Amino acid sequence: MSGDPQGNDSTDDYSKMNPADRANTGMYSASGLFGQPETRTPVFDNDGFQTGYTSNALPGFATALGTMLNGGVAPQVYTGDNRYDPFGGGGGNDGGGQNNAAAMRRAELAAARKRRADALGGKQNSLTEAFGVFNDDFYGDLGSSYSDFQNPLLTQGYDASLRGIYDGFKAKGLLTQSEVDAAIADLDTSRAAEMERIGQGASEYTQAKRDEVAKRQSALGDQLASMVGGATTAAEVDAQTAAINSFDFSKDIDKLKTPGAKGGLNFFQNYNQVAAQADPSVNVVAESVSGAPQTGSITPVKNTGISSPFGSNSIRVV
């Protein structure tokens, strides 16, 4: 054939028509592959643009046999975009319009599935990028915050236990430096162990968040995957594409960023812990029982006791 596969031959007046006008035109003539005149019937898409044409098969034994079996009518062949082949890849012209419509539906379905695949891939990438915030810096700071919360409680427990040691010696009424040094050394050893407890707790606290994040990311991935599949029409596929595009997981990310409760540890449980006493009140301005300020000079103390009978004065002792 001469010209391009869509029948837009440069040698005939038909090629000079506007494609939209061709939709209203029936068969037209053009030069075939060997220059012979050929009658063609245009095939159009939904927008009225020509996608190809049908014409008589080239002469030959198969064509002659097909003509004989087809009641003397030469079999038709399609030339052009295969998506719009009215014969669905086969010969003959029975039901050509139906086959053309089916080819168009297949093309629309394929295009819809391509859009859905692009939307799914884009959303999966967005999900991965959103969870990228949960990196080593995030978990490192999470562990530090746990230790920062526990350390003041450790100091309070240590001080209370130290007061308990002194209080115990006070109750016994005995206090030697060696005994005090030994008791404080044991307390310091316990403090080192308690510090290890804090480190272990920070690791477990961080791992719990890691597990929570991984579980939620997997669940969101499964939820996204469940939006795809089972669609047999372009409209159904497009509906799934719309659901994918509207899938929002920002609230899940914000919730996962919120640290969980830490819970204060109980330190030095084997020690007697004594709370710090409040400072005693101070009488800044001296006052009398009646409340009058005492600003005068101190009254000398008079001797009102019983004089000794051995003194110079003879006083009877009662």
pTM of the predicted structure, to 2 decimals: 0.56
Least confident residue range of 74-88, 221-235, 271-285: 271-285
pLDDT computed for residue 6 by the predictor: 46
Apex 55 CA angle, 49 and 61, nearest 5? 155
Residue in 57, 52, 54, 79 with CA at minimum distance from that of residue 70:
57
Contact 144, 199 (CB under 8 A): no
d(CA 128, CA 214): 11
Least confident residue range of 226-235, 286-295, 296-305: 296-305
pLDDT band at 279 (very low <50, low <70, confident <90, very high): low
Q: Is the pLDDT of residue 301 over 50?
A: no
Chain-wide mean pLDDT for the chain? 77
- For residues 190 and 51, the model is more confident at 190
User: What residue spans define the domains of the chain?
Assistant: 13-94, 116-257
Helix (H, G, I), strand (E, B), or coil: what is residue 310?
Answer: coil
pLDDT digits (tens, 9 = 90+) for 124-151: 999 999 999 999 999 999 999 999 999 9
How far does Cα 24 stand from its chain's mean position? 55
Token duo for residue 42: 């245009």
pLDDT band at 78 (very low <50, low <70, confident <90, very high): confident
Task: Say how many Å lie between the first and final Cα of the chain, rounded.
Answer: 157
Q: Is the pLDDT of residue 241 over 70?
A: yes
pLDDT band at 211 (very low <50, low <70, confident <90, very high): very high
Average pLDDT estimate for 231-258: 95
pLDDT digits (tens, 9 = 90+) for 41-56: 888 777 667 778 887 7
Contact 3, 16 (CB under 8 A): no
